Structure 1
Amino acid sequence: MRLHPFFAMGPTMSVDFKETRALLLRRQSSVFAVEGAERQPEACMQLFDIDLAKLGYALSQRLRARLQTQAAPALSAIQEGIWNVLATQLGGHRQHTPLFRRFPNDVPHNTERLWIDRVLTHFMQAPGQPCLHCARTGTTHVLKPCQHVVCDACFDGGNYSACPICHRHADRDSPFFLPAPGPKQKAAAHAPLKLIDLGASMDDTAQALVRAMCERKQAMSPADTDDFKALAGEYGLRLLAWVPDQIPVRENIALLFGTLLQKCEPAAVLAAAAPHIGSATDVIRLIAAYSGADPSLQGQEVYRQVPVEQARRYVRFKDWFVPDSYWNEQPSVPMRVSIKRFKVAKLARPLRRALLGLLEGMHPNALTEDMLRHRSYWVWLGQFLHPHEYHKRFPQVAFAFSVIRKKGPDGTPGPQFETFYAGLEQAVMRKDAMAMVTLLRQRPGELARRFDHALRVAAGDSAASSAVLDAFAKCAPQFATPVLLTLRALLPTRLHAGETRIYWPKGSVATGFMAPDQRPPLPQETVNQAVALIERELLARFSSKPTVGDWLIDAALADIMVPFNERTASRSAIQLPRGSVLPVPPGKKARLFLHWCQPENGQRSDLDLSVAFYDDQWRFRGVCSYYQLTCKGSDGSIIATSAGDLTDAPFPDGASEFVDLDCELARQNGVRYAVAVLNNYSGMPFEDLEHAFAGLMFRDDVQGAHFDPRTVALRFDLAGTNGVFLPMVFDLRENQLHWLDLYAPGGFEFNNVATSTAAISAVCPAMIAYFASSIRMSMFHLALLHGAARAQRVILRGDGTLRALSRHEGEDNASFLARLRKWNPQDVDSAPVMHEAPLFAALLDADIALPENSIVYALRPGLSAATIAASDLIS
């Protein structure tokens, strides 16, 4: 992202911390500026307000008053800087011109007829000849660089933004292209403005953010990771004073100190990092982060060309070679391969010795076993660390490398080594629950993750089942909070046999895999005991955090999931956790958008935006896509319109596609589900593009500018390699939007709804049912746990009213939680009024003014800005 000089210049601005100012504006809607000595005229500030309102934002009164004291050049820089950051967050910083420039008007309804005309023109139209469609002469033009010959009487040059035949961008100087239509007036947007406030101290705010991120109990989302690295890179060694004594997530340790290693003197960084590094995996994560690689160690997805004769023998390609398939004529096909290595940054000799010294200080058996967990990485990394150059100085490290390489330095076979997991799997194979428990108690985290499995192995043996529960109870204080929350939601669903089990494997994007659920149900008594233990531990943890008088909770958070597997979450303007459900505003038109741009010298890439329609039983009803520009209902009404299919996105402007969806008309025509589908049809993987993002606007009408930042409800980046991205599903009967944020593996190219409908109709209903089963905890129930542990009074906001329950004198946390879950009308306080003291608020929309210094979690900012993220409530 290119930042305006606001973040690097001006008499009131530091020359440092460019990214810090931007990320605090994005995350907390805060602008930092010291008092100036001038007084700008009111007319100048009104222009500032008008420009900011175009993005859907407004200045708070105190920020407005502060900015009015700035010198004119500084104020101008601040204005443009704020605009650039917020426009980038929403997607309004890019040019958005669809194929049909007058969209949603003048989109051809007969897509098949248009396709035939394009094909005939492509193969038969010659320069200087009469038009083969209308027989006119002097109306054809040769477009560059595609060399297609088009007739301006048959194709409207005032409506097309690219070649009408191949849909590639063409030279706009051709006489075929008529002048662009005048700028569209922005349609009215009846949406409340989001407030930007004056920040008190940038250093203090950054410190609180760094500490909160370090204390996270689960891996951060890609957006949080970027911000965390930016803070570490800009503050450098100053940041070390803010780091807490414990950083629970090992990847965060690597991100912090690996980024510092890139910027600062290695000896100082490693001295600070040493207390946080306790395993060999910590060291390799550190080297990965220092090298600019992913410290999660998930491997890189690359493509290798495999000869067709060999590919036909692979099961994964069985659907590729059907009769008349494109691939039957190709010499090779691309096969995805996971590579367990990364490009290692230069490791100076002193740094190598320091890293080997960290490894040498670990317990020998633990060191060797940990290295075996990531054997491929360590074999690769050994080529850069050269451990046997120092085998006398670091003998334990040399031994461990002999084990993972399976040979010593002299070429003799390496020593044998039995790992913890080998012993555990042997116990499972023997169905020896007691041996399994004995091993799992050595590693509490593993016990928590395998608790369900251990109970199943112990089934039918009361002594073994009791041993599993006893181990669980004794180790519960050592379990990570996210694991406890997951178990608290999961265990009650295990009382009955399920139909489908969904797995979430590690990866750069979310690809949930489904399989029949063959697990037997768990006993009611066992589940009750475990749930009681979990809640007791969670309440104890949360009660150790700062208390407040009032705790305000939005009932609408019951449909927002607690974040999980955030490593695979899409970078987005709103951090909406996967599986969450949002209400669709009634009376609004939905406009989906897609924008992408190829690198300056990159391969031509074609991405496609489509909407697929299904009935109550998930039977396919129609599609709006590049091969069906309009989708009509049974009564002939148009329920969706595409702005056309652009087949390239040249640097630097890229390309945009839109689809308008009339939810009410679709529902009236028997459509229950509308699925947004983003396909990588051909070209470069999502992650290799210069940029690629998509999203959703809710419009009062569909006229005006194609892209209106004020109406953006969701904006998210595209990641991963290729295939089909299923970001969201509209349930038109319930008027809800299901955020799935899910990638479905597809072929390397030629993906579209037609080739993906089987996957869509299987994956989408399964995912919706999965999250609707309460198998994942909601933000509402998490907020209740915090409120019961930390507040004297909990206020519930819902249906336009406030209800409150106060803690009884001497009431313990568990009893208060039980009352909060019931909300007995006889217990509710009469006419609750919020006090003026700071409170905690967990809100869907921050559309309520809160007391100064309140702590706020808000999914969508408004009158108040979020001061914490959802993940901060899990720490």
Structure 2
Amino acid sequence: MRRFVHLCDHRRMTHGLASLVIRHTHRVPSPEGSAGDGAAAARQFDAALMSVGFKLSAELLARLSGLSEAAVVHTARRTLRAVSEMVGDHVRHNAYFIDFPANVPDTEEFWISCVAKALDDDASRESVLTQLSHGVLNLLTLPTYGRYQHTYEQLLAAQEELIASAGDRVTVLHLGRNLDDELTGLYLALAGSATPLGEEHLDDLKILAQRCALGPQPESIPVRENRAVVNEARLMAGADLLLDTVTDVLRLACALSGGDVTLREPTRFRSLPRPVRRALLAGLDAVIAANPAKLADVHAHREPFKRLGERLHPHEYPRWPHAAEVFAVARGEKEARSFDSRLERLLDGYDVPGAVRLLESAPGKLFRALDLLLRIASGQEERNAVVAAAVRVAPQVSGRVVLSVREHFQNRERETGEPRIFVNRRGRGRVVLDARPPVPAADRDRLVTALDAEIRRRLPAPGRLLLDPDVLDVALPLSGRAAAAGLGVLPRGSVSAVAGERLRFFTYWKQSAERTDYDLSALLLHRDYSTDAWLSYTSLKNVAGVHSGDVTEAPDGASEFIELSLGRVRGTFIVPQVNIFSGEGFDEVEESFFGFMLRDGEHKGRPYEPRTVRMKSDLRGTGRVALPLVFRREDDGRWSAKWLHLYLRGISSANRVEENQVSVSKVVRAVVEREYLTVRYLTGLLADQGTAVEVWDGGRVPDEPVTYIGLERPEGLHPDSVVVTRENLRDLIPD
């Protein structure tokens, strides 16, 4: 019996790992099983995939057709489960109004009908009459308000069948390598990423690191959070740790305690086993022995180091005296003058030449201080020195930072007083008016030219470059936190075309412990960002669209929808949002996500149809108002989407579109008018250095190896091709 249980656990783990590969790469690990005639089962599998907007590549279909029927069924079950979760079809999406989008009543008419039904109900009549006598009525006390009045099966029976359309989404699943090779490749890609990973991908890296810690490793792990996750797995596996700063050890301690390796949130350190304590102290000792100046890094995280020292008991290990010095600095018992304090003193005295000389020893800090240095410089000579120093140290700065600074100065051309957006690592957005003095145009242009030259120098020769034009306006993922996990998601600032007559948003949430009410709304803005109208539970319909009805609790999960006829929208911008009216936050519910669908006039079908879904993203951020993206009518009348991935603080309860329309419009303006570095920018640099950029027209792909950049991998690419799609856009960021 024990052996059988172990076998079941192994199969569940294998299924989970295979799903992880499918989710990240859109490849199915090479199916295993005995040979046979699985062609019929493979075709049935392909048809089932088509119903949720996926299909098998010709190569994968051929591979499955040569296996036994049992092997095909095994692969189909695992894959269908994975893609259903990717698109949001693993849950039931009911709508309050059973005929949605048809027969949605006016708001007042609906509320009056709810009151009438409550007055006909003996259990609620007295309460409603009392409330009405006081002139205020709580809708939540009405028996028919906010709770489904029909089952999911009844909704299906009331809806007409979806009519297939050539515009339906089709995401191709390709044949991958064996599972072990796919997992190793994914581990190397995530661990060696040049940009920080989102929380979901960091969790996936942790799973992979536990399996791959003793196998092949990336040449470098430049992102410190990734290194902490890998170090945790290496420590448990008995491998050497990758440490070169005291903060690396602190992050590792946070990982071991189940805390936040990004150091954004305080970690409550656990009591650690003696071997683990020895490993952490030995690591600290080695870092300081190699470079005593790194003691100054303790100042940035003094409180966490003090708490960690209470758990590690360094006084019990006199053989590592340098580790004890770390905690002495944290407690203020030993002086270690920090780099930042020396820099602050120079900047306070407007000593730009001195600050530049100091910062040249820390190239990344110099790049982050360039704007300030150029603004406080006393004359052209000092500004020349700043630009010259930036050019000298540029080769030592990470590609991500060089690109971030390049994007920053690109946006400094705008006039002072324009809105400026700040976004933290959890997606919380805040807008302020830019009160900084301008950077002199000549100095800014010289710096931008130098940064372009540095990025151009780092770009690898791609050979034959094949480019999908739909990817040109996708923003470079300078941080993995600039996009949520999901299907069809693009980084913040990306622009993508929207083609269809009807635009339908949806949100789903399932509460964990307390009654939770999320409200899907849409704010319609004019070209000047002033409000035209909105759709929400307080405004169920207008000339442009309809709302599916308010659901106020989700013990078994709940969905809300908004449908808009794009031809009837009067304004320029459509801003979908999810407001937390009451209950658990986006990080607290069991599950929550947002997405949108596109349909033609005769599509019909259920409120949620997976093959019409263009995007589905998880809602996992701080704040009480989620802003996934904004839709914009272009000058030629066509529509596009610009990706936001933002959360606003909101208020503790009763967030409503009517109350936050001003703050939302400010955020939308700040993102819409900001210029982001895109794939177009990088391919332009490649073209400047002589690379022939071949635009793919969707037809036959070359027989020879190419470098392909696009939203989806086309079928038939040579197996030796380098492929960059939305799933691995981070690979475009040069080292």
TM-score between the two structures when normalised by the length of structure 1: 0.76
Classify the secondary structure of the residue corresponding to 1:661. Answer: strand
Aligned to 1:488: 406
Q: How far is 1:365 from its partner?
A: 4.9
User: Does residue 1:870 correspond to 2:730, yes or no?
Assistant: yes
Distance 1:42 1:396 in 2: 66
CA distance 1:41–1:767, change in 2 (3 Å): closer
The correspondence of residues 177-576 of structure 1 with structure 2, limited to 5 A, is 181=157, 184-190=160-166, 191=168, 193-233=170-210, 235-238=211-214, 241-261=215-235, 264-265=236-237, 268-269=238-239, 271=240, 273=241, 276-299=242-265, 341-363=266-288, 365-390=292-317, 392-406=318-332, 414-462=333-381, 464-495=382-413, 497-500=415-418, 502-524=420-442, 526-543=443-460, 547-576=461-490
Aligned to 1:716: 617
Classify the secondary structure of the residue corresponding to 1:686. Answer: coil
Q: Is the 8 A contact 1:497 1:517 kept in 2?
A: no
Unaligned segments of structure 2, at least 5 residues = 130-138
Q: Is the 8 A contact 2:476 2:729 kept in 1?
A: no
Distance 1:496 1:629 in 2: 39
From the two aligned structures, give the one with the greater helix fraction: 2
The correspondence of residues 580-591 of structure 1 with structure 2, limited to 5 A, is 580-585=494-499, 587-591=500-504
State which of 85, 90, 96 in structure 2 corresponds to 1:99.
96
Distance 1:564 1:129 in 2: 58
Classify the secondary structure of the residue corresponding to 1:438. Answer: helix
The residue type paired with residue 256 of structure 1 is V
Distance 1:118 1:129 in 2: 12
Residue deviations 1:97-154, cap 9 Å, x none?
1111221122212x12332443566589524989999xxxxxxxxxxxx9978xxxxx
Q: How far is 1:751 from its partner?
A: 0.3
Distance 1:227 1:567 in 2: 14
Distance 1:467 1:127 in 2: 80
The correspondence of residues 847-862 of structure 1 with structure 2, limited to 5 A, is 849-859=716-726
Q: How far is 1:259 from its partner?
A: 4.1
Distance 1:717 1:9 in 2: 29
CA distance 1:388–1:42, change in 2 (3 Å): closer
Q: Is the 8 A contact 1:31 1:198 kept in 2?
A: yes
Unaligned segments of structure 1, at least 5 residues = 134-145, 150-162, 300-340, 407-413, 633-638, 803-832, 860-865
The residue type paired with residue 745 of structure 1 is R
Aligned-residue Cα RMSD (Å) equals 3.2
Segment of structure 1 superposing worse, 449-458 or 113-122: 113-122
Distance 1:147 1:760 in 2: 27
Segment of structure 1 superposing worse, 96-105 or 381-390: 381-390
Classify the secondary structure of the residue corresponding to 1:181. Answer: helix
State which of 721, 725, 730 in structure 1 corresponds to 2:626.
725
Classify the secondary structure of the residue corresponding to 1:630. Answer: coil
Distance 2:638 2:628 in 1: 18
State which of 84, 87, 107 in structure 2 corresponds to 1:87.
84
Segment of structure 1 superposing worse, 69-78 or 742-751: 69-78
CA distance 1:477–1:82, change in 2 (3 Å): same
Q: How far is 1:260 from its partner?
A: 4.6
The correspondence of residues 653-692 of structure 1 with structure 2, limited to 5 A, is 653-666=556-569, 670-692=570-592
Identify the structure with bigger relative contact order (alpha carbons < 8 Å, sequence gap 6+): 2
Distance 1:225 1:389 in 2: 34
Distance 1:86 1:562 in 2: 26
Classify the secondary structure of the residue corresponding to 1:688. Answer: coil
The residue type paired with residue 518 of structure 1 is R
Distance 2:151 2:414 in 1: 64
State which of 633, 657, 665 in structure 2 corresponds to 1:753.
657
CA distance 1:37–1:493, change in 2 (3 Å): closer
Distance 1:596 1:496 in 2: 40
State which of 134, 137, 147 in structure 2 corresponds to 1:168.
147
Aligned to 1:618: 529
Q: How far is 1:611 from its partner?
A: 0.7
User: Does residue 1:743 correspond to 2:618, yes or no?
Assistant: no
Distance 1:55 1:604 in 2: 31
Residue deviations 1:701-748, cap 9 Å, x none?
462122111111110111124421111212134411121111121101
Residue deviations 1:757-806, cap 9 Å, x none?
11112221122111xxx3x21112123335666x7532135xx599xxxx
Q: Is the 8 A contact 2:33 2:71 kept in 1?
A: no
The residue type paired with residue 541 of structure 1 is R
Q: How far is 1:246 from its partner?
A: 2.1
The residue type paired with residue 451 of structure 2 is I
Distance 2:198 2:155 in 1: 44
Distance 1:400 1:128 in 2: 66
Q: How far is 1:643 from its partner?
A: 0.8
Distance 1:506 1:129 in 2: 49
Aligned to 2:114: 118
User: Does residue 1:59 correspond to 2:56, yes or no?
Assistant: yes
Q: Is the 8 A contact 1:30 1:199 kept in 2?
A: yes
Residue deviations 1:349-383, cap 9 Å, x none?
12112201111223375343212101222222222
CA distance 1:837–1:493, change in 2 (3 Å): same
Segment of structure 1 superposing worse, 64-73 or 611-620: 64-73
Q: How far is 1:597 from its partner?
A: 0.4
Q: Is the 8 A contact 2:622 2:647 kept in 1?
A: no
Q: Is the 8 A contact 2:701 2:716 kept in 1?
A: no
The residue type paired with residue 382 of structure 1 is G
TM-score between the two structures when normalised by the length of structure 2: 0.89
Distance 2:52 2:154 in 1: 30
Distance 1:744 1:41 in 2: 51
Aligned to 2:703: 836
Q: Is the 8 A contact 2:272 2:311 kept in 1?
A: yes
Q: Which has the larger radius of gyration?
A: 1
Q: How far is 1:628 from its partner?
A: 1.1
State which of 622, 625, 649 in structure 1 corresponds to 2:554.
649
The residue type paired with residue 646 of structure 2 is L
Distance 2:121 2:172 in 1: 57
Distance 2:8 2:61 in 1: 20
Aligned to 1:336: none
Distance 1:578 1:379 in 2: 37
Q: Is the 8 A contact 2:30 2:178 kept in 1?
A: no
Q: Is the 8 A contact 1:251 1:296 kept in 2?
A: yes
Percent of paired sites with the same residue: 28
Classify the secondary structure of the residue corresponding to 2:459. Answer: helix
Q: Is the 8 A contact 2:39 2:66 kept in 1?
A: no
Q: Is the 8 A contact 1:222 1:569 kept in 2?
A: no
CA distance 1:492–1:290, change in 2 (3 Å): same
CA distance 1:695–1:466, change in 2 (3 Å): same
Distance 1:858 1:758 in 2: 36
Q: Is the 8 A contact 1:125 1:131 kept in 2?
A: no
CA distance 1:618–1:34, change in 2 (3 Å): closer
Q: Is the 8 A contact 2:193 2:730 kept in 1?
A: no
Distance 1:718 1:535 in 2: 35
Distance 2:364 2:124 in 1: 75
Residue deviations 1:285-343, cap 9 Å, x none?
112222332211112xxxxxxxxxxxxxxxxxxxxxxxxxxxxxxxxxxxxxxxxx223
